[in-house]
Structure formats: structure tokens, C-alpha cells
Amino acid sequence: MLRQRFVLDTTALTDSMAWESEGATSICEGMNAILDRVAQARLYLGISCYIPYPSVYNEIKDFSRHNNCDSEVLSKVDTWLVKKTPDRYKVKVPSKIFYEYVDYMRSRINKGMNISEEAIWESVSRCIALSESGASLREMKDEIERETVGSIIRKFREKYRSALRYGILDSAPDIDVLLLAKDLDAAVVSQDLGIQRWSEQLGLRFMESRSFPVMIREYMGARGHGGMPTEEFEENRMI
């Protein structure tokens, strides 16, 4: 089997559908299960899994700690995931990608502005309708804050988040995943729609997080769940 490389986003370990497919019932148990699959891929299949350092590595550490996972999770991260910093100065990205990204961001920002304007007009219209009831401002204050403005803000946040975050690269770790995959000629593993979209733009191989442990299981099944000869094991352990 040809040796393969994968660059993992944080969602490769934290996506609920990925770890539920491993029979896990909690996030910590799920991360452990997926890391066990990564270990199998490393030892028996010659597959190397990378994470950008320190950006994604720190994200995974923080996520693990915030969910009160035990030290075994981080121990497996340090053991089975290769930590590497992408070469941000030498990785070449076509200028057309920047042009398309700026154009895409402009359309997203304009959509967010339209959503903001709609929320303002709806808020004003509802307040005017309330004022026509003849009640005093003190009497209307609670209803305006809780029922009128409060509900509009909740709806606005949901629409605005969807408009500006869907398909967007909105963090340094996202960019590091793409750069490292480009640097290594590796496949990207993520559930993030922004990373998926721009992986396609950069011509990178892409796999959804929830499909990654399934792929390893299929490979292991094709091998009859067996190991590899000692010489091959020693060679892959050093990769």
C-alpha cells in the first residue's frame, strides 16, 4: 500500500458523528477512539497523520482540557500525531486564490450588512407598533427588551453567523491546515466547510472527519485485521 499523509483539523478529533461511529458516548471517549484508529493507521498501514504546530495542537489541548479529558488523550496526541509548523514563506499559493477569497468575503460582508439592516427595520417597526397602544415607556420597557428586541437579536445572531462563517476561513489554525497540507502534498481531514471549500480551490485532497475513522476500519478489514512484518513495522514507526 502506498504510504499516505493526512493533515488533521481539530474537528477530525472532535466531530460528534466521527466518534459516535466508533461507539463512543462522550467527547473524551471519542477522541481516544479516533486516536486509537490513528495509531492503527500509523503502525499497520503506513499512514502518517499531521497537525499544524502550535495552532491546531493548542486548539486540541484547550478542547481536551475544557472537556475535562484525562491525560491519556494528550499523551496519544503527542504520540501518534506528527506536529509540524507549515512553511509559511515557501508554500506557494496562486494569486487567483487571493482574488477569489477577497471577492467571496466581499459578498459575505454585504450579506451580513443586509441582515443587519433587516434587523434594525424590524426592531423599529415593532417598537412603533407597541407605542401606538398608548402605554407608557415604563410599561413597555420590559416587553421591548425581552420580547421585541431580545427575539430580534437572537434571530439576527443566527442569520449573521450563518452568513459570515459558512465557508469562511476565520482562524489562523484553518489557514495552517491548508498550508501544511499543501507543503506535504497531503490530504486534509476536517468537518469545517470553509476548509473544505478552500481545499478544493487549492486542489488538495479532502476527507470529512466523520469518514476518516471509517476509512481506516475499511483498510484494516482489507488487511484481515493483521499486523505487518517486523521490518516494515520498525520502518513506519520512525515516520
Nearest Cα neighbor of 172 from 89, 60, 59 is 59
Question: How many domains does the chain divide into?
Answer: 2
Task: Give the pLDDT confidence of 114-124 residue by residue, as tens digits.
Answer: 999 998 888 88
> Would you state the pLDDT for residue 237?
43
Sheet with 48-52, edge to edge strand ranges = 81-84, 48-52, 5-8, 187-190, 206-208
* β-strands 187-190, 81-84 pairing: unpaired
Same domain, 28 and 116: no
**Alpha helix (H) residue ranges in the chain:** 11-14, 16-20, 27-44, 55-66, 71-80, 95-131, 137-143, 150-165, 172-184, 193-201, 212-222, 230-237
Looking at 109, 143, 165, which one is the last position of a domain?
Answer: 165
Same domain, 85 and 115: no
Same domain, 54 and 73: yes
Same domain, 183 and 83: yes
Same domain, 66 and 177: yes
Task: Give the pLDDT confidence of 142-194 residue by residue, as tens digits.
Answer: 767 666 777 888 888 888 877 776 777 878 999 999 999 999 999 999 999 88
Find out whether 207 and 177 touch, Cβ atoms under 8 Å: no
**Letter for the amino acid at 93?**
V
> Would you state the pLDDT for residue 131?
74
CA 188/CA 197 separation, integer angstroms: 11
> Would you state the pLDDT for residue 227?
46
> Would you state the pLDDT for residue 231?
46
> Would you state the pLDDT for residue 129?
77
> Would you state the pLDDT for residue 94?
86
Same domain, 81 and 140: no
> Would you state the pLDDT for residue 184?
95
Mean pLDDT per 10-residue interval, the chain, length 239 residues: 85 94 94 96 95 97 95 96 94 86 85 89 80 67 71 86 76 94 96 92 95 95 62 44
Give how far Cα 77 sits from Cα of 103, 138, 193, Å: 37, 57, 24
Q: Which domain holds residue 192?
A: 5-93+172-237
